[in-house]
Structure 1
Amino acid sequence: MCDLLKRSICIQDAGQVERCIGYLESPNLYKHTIYASDSKSPRNGQAQIQSCTETITLDRLLHKFMQDDLTLVDQLKLAHRIATAVLQFHSTPWLSDRWHLQDLSLFGIRDEVTQDALRTLHLRSIFPEGSSQASVVPIEQMDISKPEVGAVISAQEAQLRYGISNVTLFCLGVALLELGHWRTLQDLRRAEDIDDIVTARRLAASGRPPLGSTKLQSIVRKCLQCDFGFGDDLSKTELQSAVYSDVVCELEAMISVMTL
């Protein structure tokens, strides 16, 4: 697909009219139509991305902007959208098991974080060129906040060595911690923490809950421990429903209370 996109873009640059390259269709009957767009003649109904617009990953957002730049509601809305995205995309190639805030981006205008920008949260996936296989990195050498490119960790190894029942939900817990403290896990790490997993568990158990909310801290703990009462297989409907109820709906309730 990447090769096709590259060839089509070259054709567009050669001056041919805009045309549909093709589409991707999912089992849920969603159809994603792909165009090689010419910025000089945008399609009707399609927002034109201006030259001053850039994408910013959420981990960069934590470094670039002060926590005071966003309200508590804004931070909770980000957390809610991320949790919803995990449920929607965990079984697709768009979201790996070991995902991170750097895999999610916003469209913004230079140094501004606007309400419009917050509504543009999207997944950012890099498709590898060619057919090169992912390299395997020993788990003890992995930094879960800044993953090695192509690193592979099996669910069995995560369970046996670290007691991580579900890597995807563990990463959701980490993301909620980072948003709640408005710092990356690497920045929150102490000298005595042997790895980022210990850092995450220490923060989840500390007396300083993220966003000052014990409710959010409880949600984080459930995600880190996969403590939803329905096993650890996120492909099962029962666990998906429990995560939706105990994470997504709880975040919605927190947002609703704070916006009364």
Structure 2
Amino acid sequence: MAEAVGFVLAVVPMIISACEHYGEAARGIQRYRHANKGAEDLIMMLEIQEAIFRSANIRLLASCVGRDEAHLMLGDFNHPGWKESGLIADYRARLGESQHAFTHSIKLINEHLANLRLTIDGFDKHSDVNEQDAHAHHRKLSFKKRIRLAFSQSGIEQSLESLMKKTQNFSTLIAQTEPSQSRTSETKITLSTRREIAKFARIKDAASNLYQTLGYACTKHTSHQAQLSLEPSCKVQESTRTDPLQVRFTMAFSHLTLQPQATASDLSKPSAWLTIESSVSGMIQSEADNVTLQHMQVSAKRTRDSEDDESLNASTAQATSLQKKAVRFQCAQAVAVPVVPAEEPILPNLCTNENFCLQLRNFINQASPSTKAVGYLGHQGSQRHLIYVDAKSQRVTQGKGTSLLRSLRQLLQSTNNAGPSIPILLHYERLRLAHLLSIAVLQFRSTPWLANSWNSNEILVSTHESSSTTTDDTTITNFHEPYVSACIRNPYDAPARSNTLRSRTLIRNQLLFRLGVMLLEIAFQKPLDEMKETSDTDGGDDSNADFWAADRLQHQVSACLAPRYAEVVRKCIHCDFGKDFDLTATKLQEAFYQDVVCELKRLEDLFRAASMVG
């Protein structure tokens, strides 16, 4: 391992310095472009060689970390990616037996560029022309002749031709290390993909712990209904910019959850919207106040000792009162007494006494979102979750009405039957929803938030109309935020949500198959049930009707969005990633991320750009 690290650390400085030397040589010749007509051609030759050298190195590095990451690493020797053990192994594996030739080729290019720079710097001795001299004009003419002579005598053109051969040899060497393309070539997993998978795993752990903590938070009611946003935000470490320190969730509780005895009239009351900051590592820091909430470390202890603290404070206050009555001081002059800032209130543990619902009622009617946490949730040794109360006008209801939070199934049906007064769901908006659902698979898989049998009825969508500056535009752009509706149960009662597959099912992975079905529904803007045909039933047995219907429709979906979208749907329906069918395996997660999540993001960006041009 030490040898591998030494190889990379020895080669990387040479690569980066060579990229810099190409530019330095070109800038050196640029100073004499007015004195030598052939200087422009020489500069162009250097720029071409630099582009070839950079492209070859990016091609080599991109096979290990991805193209975007390769561009960043090639310009920064201190980039953390150079220290990744996985990169070093992949880098050496790609070069194979060509490691020595690779190192020697870069060394030759570096030495050649260094000598070329010395030659160009030697031209400065010919540039001693004084503008104030009466014979300046003649000196300039003489200077140009001397520069042209210096260029010809230095053999700089021959030197650049030799450099061109060395650069071309280097590029050819890199091309020969590329693996041959087989008919069933698999996608190369990049370093950025591995980092994203690790980040999603931390989000999944935080979401799972949040569900368990909410289960212990209130045992007065047997179950609670929650709508969790599928777009959690992360605060990452500044050093790596990838490892999340805390995750910020948005969640809604309906009044039926908080008031089990509620009547129909209670449906008109606002819902309780919460923003939850869950710690992943270190201490939780409030994003609103940008102040570390250090009191969380002692808040649990203060809660347990609250009665003792109150009695102690009462006796102390009484003693202080008696002292003030007994002693009087006459001050000759005013004495400035420093004002001691009031200590910030200690955050209460809302899990105390397991009556979270009762404590939450105190904040439901809050007029504006809270800028400070009202408390935190923590059960025994679990993670701690800061609670903010957000007042929103949305209502979580199960029936029809004017609610802006409705199921994905209802949204697709309404847009499919859209009239002149109803906004349509644009292509890039559909692709954005598909992209967010695909990310939810990695963030909430194997948690009670996301059942294997999830469907468009369980996914709720919050619609926000954006303001339009044009009056003649009849298309209204909407921002759609997806939520998943889950039942939070008392941990002492029913187990978490689980799903079993029928013994005769043809579905390889239920979670990915259901994602593929929703991708079809998003494309056609219809529920799968409305698109089934009699041929989808196998001899009257409808146990696999969903599979046959989805398999038939995946051949037709390319006409709705794009052939690449159809390929994404096919892979989800058949779980065809070449990595078995168990999503708990890291290899399948990585393949799913690159082939589905990244592809849907690329399609979304493509269609969004096209809509702006149109």
Same fold? TM cut 0.5: yes
Structure 2 equivalent of residue 162 of structure 1: 505
What are the residue-to-residue correspondences of 1:1-260 with 2, within 5 Å? 1=215, 3-4=219-220, 9=258, 35-36=360-361, 37-45=363-371, 46-50=390-394, 53-66=403-416, 69-108=424-463, 117-118=479-480, 120-127=481-488, 131=493, 152-154=499-501, 157=502, 161-194=504-537, 195-206=545-556, 208-209=557-558, 211-260=560-609
Asked whether the 8 Å contact 1:181–1:210 carries over to 2, the reply is: no
Shift of 1:198: 1.1
Shift of 1:50: 4.9
Change in 2 beyond 3 A, CA 1:101/1:29 = farther
Asked whether the 8 Å contact 2:464–2:478 carries over to 1, the reply is: no
Over the matched positions of the two proteins, sequence identity in percent amounts to 28
Structure 1 equivalent of residue 107 of structure 2: none
- TM-score normalised by length of structure 1: 0.72
Paired with 2:530 and 2:565, the residues of 1 have a C-alpha distance of 20
Paired with 1:201 and 1:258, the residues of 2 have a C-alpha distance of 25
Shift of 1:83: 0.5
Asked whether the 8 Å contact 1:58–1:106 carries over to 2, the reply is: yes
| C-alpha RMSD of the superposition | 3.7
The letter of the residue matching 2:598 is C
Shift of 1:225: 0.9
Instruction: Give unmatched runs, 5+ long, in structure 2.
Output: 1-214, 225-256, 263-273, 285-349, 351-355, 372-389, 396-401, 419-423, 466-474, 538-544, 610-614
Task: Number of aligned residue pairs: give it.
Answer: 226
RCO higher in structure (CA 8 A, sep ≥6) = 1
Shift of 1:128: 5.5
Shift of 1:101: 1.1
Paired with 1:174 and 1:28, the residues of 2 have a C-alpha distance of 36
- TM-score normalised by length of structure 2: 0.33
Change in 2 beyond 3 A, CA 1:184/1:29 = farther
Asked whether the 8 Å contact 1:177–1:210 carries over to 2, the reply is: no
Change in 2 beyond 3 A, CA 1:47/1:224 = same
Asked whether the 8 Å contact 2:427–2:561 carries over to 1, the reply is: no
Asked whether the 8 Å contact 1:106–1:117 carries over to 2, the reply is: no
Shift of 1:229: 1.2
Paired with 1:30 and 1:193, the residues of 2 have a C-alpha distance of 54
Shift of 1:99: 0.9
Asked whether the 8 Å contact 1:180–1:210 carries over to 2, the reply is: no
1:121 partner SS: strand
Change in 2 beyond 3 A, CA 1:221/1:29 = farther
Paired with 2:432 and 2:585, the residues of 1 have a C-alpha distance of 26
Shift of 1:43: 3.6
Shift of 1:60: 1.3
Who wins on radius of gyration, i.e. which is larger? 2
Deviations 1:14-51 (A, max 9, x none): xxxxxxx9x896878898x8744423434425342256
Change in 2 beyond 3 A, CA 1:236/1:219 = same
Paired with 1:91 and 1:167, the residues of 2 have a C-alpha distance of 12
Which one has a larger percent helix, Structure 1 or Structure 2?
A: 2
Further displaced range: 121-130 or 190-199:
121-130
Change in 2 beyond 3 A, CA 1:227/1:50 = closer
Deviations 1:34-79 (A, max 9, x none): 7444234344253422566442010111222227611100000010
Asked whether the 8 Å contact 2:452–2:499 carries over to 1, the reply is: no
